[in-house]
Structure formats: structure tokens, C-alpha cells
């Protein structure tokens, strides 16, 4: 089965299991690294007050559920490792929901091509609208970046 189909199945299964059990799928990926295949599933924990930290028990609960579904459907022909975790402190921002949720947070932006001589930028996320990502740098300058120039956007880990 193609990579996209496996991740679509994960999204379908999590669409019912997640809300019922207090979880939200952040993203899933099926990738080959060296000689091994990995099905990685990144999940957020939901509470009545918003989001909370994922525990190892939460990851285990999601992993058991997905393992059962994967065994039933058997969509992957090769050997693989299933990994379930939180998106992490330096999470990738993927969906429009991510951009809204983390508006005002400091992000690291990686670009395909240099902008003002730089391939990476950091700033406070203003938003992403109509194909334009806007951030405000530490000097208060707003940068408007066409989304097609953006390789990755991650939350910045500040210690």
C-alpha cells in the first residue's frame, strides 16, 4: 500500500478513536530510514480545558488501538515499526489549525531559497493567510513569506 494510504487510514481511525478518548491526531508519516520502515503517529492529548501533555500511558493506549486496527486491516506488506508520540516541544506546524493554535508563539522557519540572504528565520507567528506566512522578528519587523517558499515551520524551544 502506498505511504499516503496508510497515513489516510490512520487519520480515519483516529477521527473516531481520538475524540472519544481525548486524543487528536497531529500527523502521521510512513518513512524508510536506512533499511527499516517506520509508521510514526504524532498525537496531542485533549482535555476540557484544551491541550495537555501526552504521557507514556497515553502513547501506549493509542499504540494498542492502532496496532489492533493495523493487524485487522493489514495495509502494510513490509516489516515496519509503529511509533506513537507527542509532536514534541519543537513540533512541526502543518495544518491551518496548527497555525491558528500557535499564533503568537516563536517559530523557526526553514526556506527552500534564501530570503534577504537567509534560508532560516525566527520570529513570532502572526499567522498564515491566503498563502502568506507572516512572522515578526525580534526587532519588530514583519516578514511576509509566500507559503511555497517555506520548507518547514517549527515551534522554537526556548530555555
Per-residue pLDDT reduced to its tens digit, 93-131: 999 999 999 999 999 999 999 988 999 999 999 999 999
Share of the chain above pLDDT 70, in %: 97
Is residue 90 included in any domain, yes or no? Answer: no
Is residue 91 included in any domain, yes or no? Answer: no
- Partnered with residue 43 across adjacent β-strands are 25
CATH number assigned to the domain comprising residue 52: 3.30.300.70
Domain range for residue 10?
A: 3-85
Q: What b/e readout covers 42-59, taking b as 16+ CB neighbours within 10 angstroms?
A: bbbbeeeeeeeebeeebb
Q: In this structure, are 51 and 111 located in the same domain?
A: no
Q: In this structure, are 17 and 69 located in the same domain?
A: yes
Contact in structure between 23 and 46 (CB atoms under 8 Å): yes
Amino acid at each position: 500500500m502506498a505511504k499516503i494510504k496508510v497515513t489516510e487510514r490512520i487519520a480515519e481511525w483516529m477521527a473516531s478513536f481520538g475524540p472519544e478518548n481525548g486524543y487528536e491526531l497531529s500527523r502521521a508519516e510512513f518513512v524508510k530510514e536506512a533499511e527499516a520502515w517506520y509508521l510514526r503517529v504524532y498525537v496531542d492529548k485533549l482535555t476540557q480545558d484544551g491541550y495537555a501533555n501526552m504521557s507514556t500511558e497515553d502513547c501506549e493506549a493509542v499504540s494498542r488501538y492502532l496496532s489492533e486496527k493495523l493487524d485487522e486491516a493489514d495495509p502494510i506488506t513490509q516489516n515496519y515499526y509503529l511509533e506513537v508520540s507527542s509532536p514534541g516541544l519543537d513540533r512541526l506546524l502543518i495544518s491551518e489549525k496548527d497555525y491558528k493554535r500557535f499564533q503568537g508563539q516563536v517559530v523557526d522557519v526553514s526556506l527552500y531559497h534564501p530570503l534577504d540572504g537567509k534560508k532560516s528565520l525566527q520570529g513570532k507567528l502572526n499567522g498564515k493567510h491566503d498563502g502568506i506566512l507572516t512572522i515578526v522578528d525580534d526587532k519588530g519587523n514583519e516578514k511576509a513569506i509566500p507559503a511555497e517558499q517555506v520548507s518547514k515551520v517549527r515551534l522554537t524551544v526556548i530555555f
